Amino acid sequence: MALKIPNSMEECLYFSNRFIGDEQLMAWVYRKTCPKCKKAKMGKPVVKGKVKTRADIYECPSCKYQEEKVAHEESLQLEAQFTCPKCKKKGESTGDYKRKSFLGVPSYLIECPHCHEKIPLTKKMKNIKKKGKKNHSESEEAEDVDEEGL
């Protein structure tokens, strides 16, 4: 499967480009086309030229059709291009745009198509909890660039 990498942040609802250990992972979620008019991409409402980032709805800029935030985000797909930290092979995968708990940390889950290892995409700067060890030393660092809620 060949995923299309976004050309700009305007196309995306979510974008992340980070390193997990030595391996790179790039993930994104495209904005959804309006289901009513099919002319424009849905986004947060714009009032007086400013985007209402904390709004609980998504709105079509051309026909003003509105959709609840939860229902809208559950219908989206997270796409990712990565190098698997376990098998070291390059791969592409899709997953639900919904955070699930993975080892005690809310994260989006991507599965490697080669070794079926689950790769967590955690919130910015969150470390996965290790069982039986304290998290004071040798935690994996995640360099992260995140954009959410455009």
Residue 65 in tokens? 């059709």
Average pLDDT of the chain to the nearest whole number: 83
Contact 76, 97 (CB under 8 A): yes
15 Cβ neighbours under 8 A, 6+ residues apart: 6, 9, 27, 28, 29, 145, 146, 147
- Buried b / exposed e across 115-131, counting CB within 10 Å, b at 16+? eeeebbbbeeeeebeee
The answer to whether residues 31 and 41 touch, using CB atoms and an 8 Å cutoff, is yes
- Taken as a whole, the chain contains a residue count of 150
pTM given for the model: 0.75
Provide the pLDDT confidence category of residue 142 given band limits of 50, 70 and 90.
Answer: very low
Q: What are the pLDDT digits (tens) for 34-93?
A: 988 988 999 899 888 888 889 899 999 889 899 999 889 889 999 999 998 888 899 999
How far is the C-alpha of 46 from the C-alpha of 34, rounded, in Å? 16
